[in-house]
Amino acid sequence: VPSELRITTIKQEPYTVSKGSQLEGFCMDLLSEVAKKVGFKYRVQLVKDGSYGRQDENGTWNGMIGEVMRGEADLAIAPLTLTAAREKVVAMTTPFMQTGISILLRRDTSEETGFFDFLSPFTAQTWVGILAAYLGTAACIFVVSRCRLSPCEWSQPQTEQNTFSFLHSLWYTAGALTLQGAGPHPKALSGRIICCTWWFFTIVLLACYFSNLSSAKTPESTQLTVKGFDDLANQDVIEYGCLAGSSTLAFFKNSNNPVYRRIYEHMERTKSFVSSMDEGVRRAKEGSYAFIGESVSLDLAVARHCELVRAHEVVGMRGYSIAAAIGSPFIKSLNLAILQLSEAGELAYLRSKWWASSCLAERAKSSAVQAHSLKGMFLVLAIGLGLGALVAVLELITKSRRGAAEQKKPCCTVLSEELSLRLKSNAGTTHNDSDKEKA
């Protein structure tokens, strides 16, 4: 057993990436944990020809598999797929990661933007509720401030000039809805309660609107024109291919499934292979190309590029293993270490660490706000309007009681006189306003 093992690997995000003069990634973390459990020192080197390992026509293996066979490396740690052909020439450990074959596509963003997409943050029922709340609040402000139910708002109805018409109440309410002040403001406590309730309602409403409007601008459609390999084989609009010389290509080549055979024959006929994973992701991002590859690698591409999406169908389940020379004394210890890491949850932790998505904001995109989502705010507004009207009535009753005590009349008589005086004054003021507008 050598004192220092030679480890061959290949650069592929996030398994092995460069950070300055050092290498890091999922496989490097895995190697560190395995070395601690088995108890060996190591030195990492990149594979010379940049290949994983495949057999040419002469029966010679290249890549990491070839280096392990020739004794140029003791172990190969990379996303090496466990296959029967590789198992014949090297010893493969228990898989440290399960994967399969799937399809990577660009999201369907063909839907055109409509003229009224600015209304999309709320549903139609919510907009109707907002309109009803707006008209109801304006009517309450008009009744309390214009009709002068509260004596604190209008102490001398015969002489005081009034500007709180219904149109002004609508304008005042709209100004508060757009966070633009529109005076004059109510002076009575009842009017101020109504206005404060409406201001609080509009603040929450606008916060919900702008939050959902910004989310709606993010491309949303994840409807796939190709949902699986059957759809892929039965269409000729989207070109598709896989990594040249990969185990994915071998899966389709050796399969007896007629759908998979058609996919392989199409790729051979059109020569739609790619030379690297990065090239496949780039072509998928450009559109009109579906990249077929390992599902875990495609998941990483989806996590890094928000415009991509992976098909749900996964076929040909297989695993990634560590390769060693046949008869290596480390195989049993490596298998035990991998099982221990899996049972302890270390492998799952490393997966979540290196496959962290940068598209969380998009995944959390909220849909249009339903009316029932704001039912609490509508309830608060209704309570505020009712409380304001009740306070106005109580203020008027309080003044009527004081007037009845001073005039030595029944309270109901004074109250009816107050209401009659205010309604008559309101009607007269309305006519005067109409005459001024005509003039």
Amino acid occupying residue 284:
A
The pLDDT, as a whole number, for residue 206 is 83
The pLDDT, as a whole number, for residue 436 is 44
Residue 126 — pLDDT band, cuts 50, 70, 90? confident
Angle (CA) 387 393 394, round 5°: 85
Based on the number of CB atoms within 10 Å of its own CB, is 374 exposed (0-12), middle (13-18) or buried (19 or more)? buried
Residue 356: phi and psi, rounded to 5, are: -60, 135
Q: Look at residue 152 and tell me whether its pLDDT is greater than 70.
A: no
Domain boundaries, the chain: 5-96+321-355, 117-153+161-217, 229-317, 375-418
- Look at 269 and 217; give whichever has higher pLDDT: 269
The pLDDT, as a whole number, for residue 225 is 65
Kindly state the percentage of the chain with pLDDT values over 70.
74
> Per-residue b/e over 128-153, b at no fewer than 16 CB within 10 Å?
ebbeebbeebbebbbbbbbbbbbbbb
Overall size of the chain counted in residues: 439
Known binding-site positions: 79, 81, 86, 247-248, 294
Residue 318: phi and psi, rounded to 5, are: -150, 180
Q: Look at residue 167 and tell me whether its pLDDT is greater than 90.
A: no
The mean predicted confidence, pLDDT, of the chain is 79
The pLDDT, as a whole number, for residue 246 is 81
The pLDDT, as a whole number, for residue 363 is 47
Q: Look at residue 194 and tell me whether its pLDDT is greater than 60.
A: yes
The structure tokens listed for 172 are: 């005042």
Mean pLDDT across the stretch 300-306? 86
CA atoms within 13 A on the CB side of 75: 28
Residue 391: phi and psi, rounded to 5, are: -60, -40
The structure tokens listed for 223 are: 């409807």
- Per residue in 334-344, pLDDT (tens digit) is 999 999 999 99
The pLDDT, as a whole number, for residue 361 is 46
For 113-165, the DSSP string reads PPTTGGGTTB-HHHHHHHHHHHHHHHHHHIIIIIS--STTT-S-TTT------
The pLDDT, as a whole number, for residue 437 is 42
Most confident of 92-101, 102-111, 404-413: 92-101
Cβ atoms of 74 and 85 within 8 Å: the answer is: no
Cβ atoms of 122 and 209 within 8 Å: the answer is: yes
Strands 4-9 and 308-310: what pairing? unpaired
In angstroms, what CA-CA distances link 108 with 229, 288, 309? 18, 11, 9
In CATH, the number for domain 117-153+161-217 is 1.10.287
Same fold, 5-96+321-355 and 229-317: yes
Q: Look at residue 315 and tell me whether its pLDDT is greater than 80.
A: yes
- Look at 284 and 143; give whichever has higher pLDDT: 284
The pLDDT, as a whole number, for residue 336 is 94
**Second CATH level (architecture) for the domain 229-317:** 3-Layer(aba) Sandwich (3.40)
| CA distance linking residue 91 with residue 431, whole number of Å | 100
Cβ atoms of 379 and 387 within 8 Å: the answer is: no
Query: Which fold would CATH assign to domain 5-96+321-355?
Result: D-Maltodextrin-Binding Protein; domain 2 (3.40.190)
How far does the chain reach from its first CA to its final CA, in angstroms? 109
Least confident of 179-188, 245-254, 263-272, 291-300: 179-188
Known binding-site positions for L-glutamate: 79, 81, 86, 247-248, 294
Sequence-ordered alpha helix ranges (H) in 49-100: 63-69, 84-89
